Amino acid sequence: MHWSYEGAAGPAKWGDLDAASKVCSLGSQQSPIDLGVALKSQLPPLVIAWNKTANTIINNGHTIQLDFGPGSTLAFGGDSYTLLQLHFHRPSEHLIDGKNFPMEAHFVHRNAAGGGLAVLGVLLAAGKPNETFSKIVSTMPSSPGPAIKADPAIDPNGLLPTQRNYYRYAGSLTTPPCSEIVEWLVLTDTMEVADTDIAQFTTLYPMNARPAQKDNRRYVLRSS
């Protein structure tokens, strides 16, 4: 199914493109949302144990994505998830008090038992260069095509801030089919990446963010 971020196959039309993606327009727990109004609460710590390398990198026509082999885990509150892939949006999809950020990284994990997803979001701001992100943009395929081997210097841990406070809410995939199967965990601390690296990503994907969706009275919890 063809979809895009603007025009006849843009976000407002995703729900009409295909029977499987009706939830994009009819769903009640869609993502992204504005995280600004959050309830401070006791949330379990995020225990992240990722490998230091990615398997492959791909330009899939919607974003740049890195895929990971088995063994990278995210655990919180008694649930364990495995890291599948990392990809990027420009600008950020989640907003804070109506404001977006230059980019957002999504680390997609699957629950070992249930099959649900936990997506860890990291908001990226312009600032000092980040080694991992620099290596990604300097090796990303410039046009859509098959996955290629990822540079071994691409360590996903390099995109994690030291502080792991986070927002948590129940939501969906932000691309068709918009399935409402995602536990969203968006870190409150941003990571800095070089302006020139953001510009490099922008030459491929100037706008690949779904607009904020209605929160429909969902609670957003915040760990601090």
Q: Would you tell me which residues interact with Zn ion (CB under 5 A)?
A: 106
Residue nearest to Zn ion (CB): 106
Kindly list the catalytic residues: 62
The CB-of-167 to Zn ion minimum distance in angstroms stands at 15
Q: Which of 56, 73, 107, 93 minimizes the C-alpha distance to 210?
A: 93
Reported in sequence order, the residue ranges of the chain that DSSP labels E, i.e. its strands, are 39-40, 47-49, 56-59, 64-67, 73-76, 79-89, 103-111, 117-127, 148-149, 166-171, 182-187, 191-194, 221-222
The CB-of-106 to Zn ion minimum distance in angstroms stands at 4
User: Coil, helix or strand for 131?
Assistant: helix
Q: Which CB sits closer to Zn ion, 48 or 120? A: 120
Q: Which CB sits closer to Zn ion, 67 or 153? A: 67
The CB-of-38 to Zn ion minimum distance in angstroms stands at 20
What does the alpha-carbon distance between residue 71 and residue 81 come to, in Å, rounded to a whole number?
10
Q: Which CB sits closer to Zn ion, 65 or 82? A: 65
